[in-house]
Amino acid sequence: MLDRSKIGHEFDSFSIDIEQGRLKFFAKAIGETNPVYSDELAARDAGYKTIPAPPTFPMVLDMEGPDFLPVLKLLGMDISRILHGSQEFEYTGTIYAGDTITVTSKLKDVFDKKGGALEFVVMENSYTNKNGELVAVAANTLVYRNP
């Protein structure tokens, strides 16, 4: 069983520069054809400051810290046994190309189902730009398959 005493653990926050090229590459990878996500002029015409990051991009930033999914190390989880259970975003702003976003992350909960065969690890993440504006919060549930 994963260690419940770690619930509430706050991971070291980190900051990421949002490069325009990275956003364009992400847009391409998801097959995005709306020019707002790849063309600065189209973005401005649509009322954006510049190219915005698509709605699921905050999750991408979670991967950019010093460790890949640091919760794996904290709880001693084997990466081959994790599945993504659910993902929630709440938006209070927009992430733009050129922003620097600070990601804070906390282990919100750990619980199990099916007599411990599956454990659920809930993370809560928040994303703040360099003006101190909170732009999004996310909850991310990982499912851990026990043998």
Partner 1 sequence: MSDITVGIEIPSLNLPSISRSTLALYAGASGDHNPIHIDSDFAKKAGMPDVFAHGMLSMAYLGRMLTDWKPQSQLRKFSNRFATITQLQDVITCSGKIVELFEEGGEQRARVEIVAVNQDNICTLIGEAVVAL
Neighbouring-strand partners of residue 34: none
CA distance 48 to 74: 39
Please count the other Cβ atoms lying within 10 Å of the Cβ belonging to residue 85.
Answer: 14
| 128: amino acid identity, one letter | T
Measured from the CB atom, the residue of 5 and 126 that comes closer to partner 1 is 126
Closest CA to 140 of 71, 87, 62, 90: 87
Chain positions 24 to 43 lying near partner 1, rule: CB under 8 A, are 25-26, 28-32, 34, 36
CA distance 55 to 90: 10
Tell me which of 3, 45, 46, 73 binds partner 1, using CB under 8 A: 46
Q: How big is the site for partner 1, counted in residues (CB under 8 A)?
A: 37
Chain positions 61 to 100 lying near partner 1, rule: CB under 8 A, are 63-64, 68, 79-91, 94
CA distance 10 to 143: 20
Tell me which of 7, 20, 40, 48 binds partner 1, using CB under 8 A: 48
Measured from the CB atom, the residue of 87 and 100 that comes closer to partner 1 is 87
Residues that bind partner 1 (CB under 8 A): 22, 25-26, 28-32, 34, 36, 46-48, 52, 54-56, 59-60, 63-64, 68, 79-91, 94, 139
